[in-house]
Structures are given as structure tokens and as C-alpha cells.
Structure 1
Amino acid sequence: MSLISDVVGLVFLLVIILIFVALSFRIVREWERAVVLRLGRILALKGPGIIFLIPFVDKPLVVDLRVRTVDIPPQTTITRDNVTVSIDAVVYYKVVDPLKAVSMVSNYNQAVLNISQTSLRDIIGQMELDEVLSKREEINKRLQEILDSYTEAWGVKVTAVTVRDIRLSPDLLTAIAKQAEAERLRRAKVILSEGERQASTILADASKSYQANPVALQLRFLETLSDISQKGGLIVVVPAEREIYPTLSTALALMNSAKKVEGGGQPKT
């Protein structure tokens, strides 16, 4: 009986040793770190790989060092010009100091989400609607700076912030579309008026040049006739009075005289 008792005791002791050994070793992955607490006090930062712990004395708190994301749910707020908008964003962050992340904040994931929501509402409340729609990069930068000022003490680094969507009411969207259409019409009229002004200036300069050189005006007239003659089926009546186009009138008179000389008649003077 004593031998059986000794064997049972040995087996029991071996089981206890195996359990103790199993509880003494812990595997920490490459992207993790273990903050070891011994009797409630921070002992060390261990990992990655196999770490040794004293069972029932040491408690490991594993912290993930990879970049994490938190979705900021749509935040409905009023801009500086009293327009209601709904905006949501995504925050990317990671733990850079596991000791601070464990000891300085209870739940850094929830803390980052809460501070992101309030900071986003504050930023939008200080901007007008046009700035909110056109300056997303500025919103991202300002929000990241605000978050960094809070999370630095927690051992957390905000790597990026991205505004994902800005939603407006249907009535406001219709008003913005009408405003954009009116702006396009205004620009078209301004461009047309500027073109007419430039054309009138050029025509005024051309008229002065033609006034100083009547032959150039006549050549221009003949060029215009040539352009018109390219279109078939047209009858063009051309005034050729001496007072209007003296050179052309003289040419026609010489042609008539030549024809009469050839026909044996006397030209009329």
C-alpha cells in the first residue's frame, strides 16, 4: 500500500510540475509586447518570443503594436454659417509605448474614439460650409494634430486621419446646384462680354488703319468677295461707285473703254 501511495503522490507531483511549467511560459508574437505585472506592479516589458512568468504572481498584459483603425460614426453638427452637416472619418493609430498605454489610460481604443468624435465636431463648428467641402486635407491635418496632443501621453501615435464622407440635406444640395449653375452662367457672360470688348478694340484699330490706307480697304473688299464666291447659288450685287471704291471703279471704266475700242466705237468720257 505504501508503494502505491508513493506512486500516486509522485504522479500527482509530476502533474503539478507540468501545470506549473505550462503556466510559467508564454509565447508572445512578433507584433505584440507583454507588460508583466508582478503583484500589481509593472515589472518589465517582454517579448517577442517565449517569456517566463511566475504562475499566480506575474500577470501579462499583451499589447498589439500594429496599426489599428477606428471608424468615427457620422457626427451631425452645425457649421459657423449655421448649416447642418453630417460627417464621418477614419482614424489610424498604433501603440508606440506599451507601458504608457497600459498604465496611463484604461482603454486606449475607446479613448481614441471618444476624443476623435468631440474633436471632429469642434473643428467643423469653426468652419463655414464652403471650407468644409473644399478643405478636407486641412480638416484631416487639424484633427490629427489635436489627437496627437492627447494620445502622446498615452503612448499612442495617430498615423493618419481621413474624412470619409460629408452629407448634406437634399434641400441644401439643390440650392448648391442652382448656385453652381448661376456661377457658370455668370462666367460665360463675362467671357462673352470680354471677347466682344477685345473684338471692338481690334476693329477700331483696323478702321484707323483702313482710313489711312484706302487701297488696303479695297483689297479687303475683294478678298471678301472671293470668300463669298466660294458658295454656289448666290447672287452678289457689288456697289462700284467712284466715291466708294475709286480703284475698282477706275478698273471697270478702263475695261469698258477697251471693249468699245475693240468694237470700233468711241469711248464715252
Structure 2
Amino acid sequence: MINEKRNEVRKRRIKNATQIEEGFHASQDGGSIGCCGYILYLVSIICMLATIPFSLCLCTKVLNHYEKVVIFRLGRLRSRQDKKPGIFFINPYLDSFIKVDMRTLIFDVPPQEVLTRDSVTVAVDAVIYYRIQNAIMSVTNVRDVYSSTKLLAAYTLRNVLGTKDLSQLLSEREAISHLMQSLLAEATALWGVQVERVEVKDVRLPCQLQRAMAAEAEATREARAKIIAAEGEHNASRALKEAADIIAKSPAALQLRYLQSLSSVAAEKNSTIIFPLPMNILDGRL
């Protein structure tokens, strides 16, 4: 059941991200740099040809395998197609570019003072794994995608944990992590960010609450130990009663048990053995 819900959330997230990306690309299509832009472009080509080979140092750029580049020409997006890793060329007079790291990034959310639903103040920190899924959206839709994602992660952590009890916070970390991941994924879809994993690392409780919980746990263990000891005494007394009933039916069995006890004592190599003598022997009735 839980896996089905997760799959539904994942499909809905992918569908929303696809729709947002299609709408974004549609809004970026169309238009040109204009007449003045074409004139400047021709002038820049002439300047580049006139300054060869010095202009080649400014035109040639290198793109790493884990990077993508967003190029603007006269303030407009030059192309929506990704550049292949390696060498690429730009017009140094008209173009500006921004490199985007596409690797998975890790962010440690600073400890957040959170008031739970049952009015307990705890300090919780988490770790977020995310990466840039669409380089163009991460550059054009938000000013600083990394800082924005970090602030949103801290804000989401406080909001989610504020709706949970302390017992739920301690026992349902996996469910809380999946909830935070879905909320962050939906919020950052327009930024071209994909949140891959969210983990709640540590939950720090106040010292007084820790002592109270330790005392409660100790009292619970002592009560359980007393119950187990009482059950053992009850079972032992029942077994002794059954043994006494069996021995009472056969007087010779008591003598045999008595001799067996003496044999066990003699095996310990004691120097003195106390031998109880039944009183009925003196009366001559044994």
C-alpha cells in the first residue's frame, strides 16, 4: 500500500515537472535578436576575423563531462540544446555563459529548533541530496538555486516536524523523510531541481526530558522484571505441588529422593555431612 502511494506521488511529480518544462520551453521559443542585433553580430564576426589568432583564446571554452552550459546572446537564450562535453565556441563580444554542475549535491540542514505538536522543543537536523535536472530553468527561473533550495529545505523541515508528536518523530523517520522529499520535489520543480533523498540525521532532546524518559524506561523494565520473577515463582510452586502430590502417594519415593540428595552432597567432597535422622526410627516404626 505504501509502495503504491509512493509510485503515484512519483508519477505525479514527473508529470508536473514535464508540464512545467514544456511550458517553459514554449515561453522561450520565438523572437530574434532584431536588426541591431544582426548588425552587431556582423561587426563582431569582422572583429574576430581581424584579431585571429588572439580571438581564438576568447572564443574557445572547455566543458566538463558533469557540466552543462547556458549561453545568452544579447540577453536572450541562445539555444535550448545541451552542449556536449569538450570544446565549444562562443562569440566573446555578444555571448555570455553560465556553467551548471549536474552532479548530486549534498546539503546539511543546520539544527532546527522545532516545537512538536505535543509542545516539546527538540533540535533536529537533516541531510538533503539534490541535483540540477534542467540547467536552463535553474538559471533563468531563480536567482540562486543553491541558496533557495537550502532555505526551502530548512523551512520545510520545521513545518513538517511541527505537525508530528514526539513519539512519531522518533519512530516514523522514514515516513517523515518521504513526506519532506515529496514536498521539496513539488516546490523545486519550477527551478529545475530534483530532490533525490532526504534523511533526518539526529533528534536532540532537552536534558530534563532525556532524564524523564530514562526514568520511565527504567521503571518499565523493573516492572517487567518483577512480573517475570512472579510468573517464575508461580510456575515453580505449581511444579513443587505436583511433585509433592506424587511423592505423597509413595513413601519409598521420599526415601529415594533423600538418598539422591545425600549422593549429590557427597559428590562435592565436603569434610562434614549432616545426616538428618527421622524421629520415627527411634520409635521403631520405620
Question: Which bin holds the TM-score, normalised by the shorter protein?
Answer: 0.7 to 0.9
2:57 maps to: 22
User: Does 2:268 match 1:233?
Assistant: no
Shift of 1:19: 4.5
Match of 2:119 among 82, 86, 106: 82
Q: Which has the higher contact order (CA 8 A, sep 6+)?
A: 2
Give the whole-Å Cα distance in 1 for the aligned partners of 2:127 and 2:173: 13
User: Does 2:91 match 1:54?
Assistant: yes
Partner amino acid for 2:59? S
From the superposition, tell whether residues 13 and 56 of structure 1 become closer, same or farther in structure 2 (CA, over 3 Å): closer
From the superposition, tell whether residues 178 and 13 of structure 1 become closer, same or farther in structure 2 (CA, over 3 Å): closer
Give ranges in structure 1 of 5+ residues lacking alignment: 1-11, 250-269
Shift of 1:40: 2.8
Shift of 1:85: 0.4
- Following TM superposition, the consecutive aligned residue runs of length 4 or more in structure 1 with deviations greater than 4 angstroms are 12-15
Match of 2:134 among 60, 83, 97: 97
Partner amino acid for 2:215? K
User: Does 2:192 match 1:158?
Assistant: no
For residues 97-151 of structure 1, give each alpha carbon's deviation from its aligned partner in whole angstroms, at most 9, with x where no partner exists: 2122223333221121122112111222222223323443333333223222222
TM-score of the pair, normalised by structure 2: 0.72
Highest Rg: 1 or 2? 1
User: Does 2:158 match 1:108?
Assistant: no
User: 1:34, 1:47 within 8 Å by CA — same for their partners in 2?
Assistant: no
Match of 1:204 among 223, 241, 254: 241
1:170-189 to 2 correspondences below 5 Å: 170-189=207-226
Shift of 1:166: 2.1
For residues 162-198 of structure 1, give each alpha carbon's deviation from its aligned partner in whole angstroms, at most 9, with x where no partner exists: 3233222222222122222212211211221121122
TM-score of the pair, normalised by structure 1: 0.76
How many correspondences in the alignment? 233
User: 1:36, 1:46 within 8 Å by CA — same for their partners in 2?
Assistant: no
RMSD between aligned alpha carbons?
A: 2.5
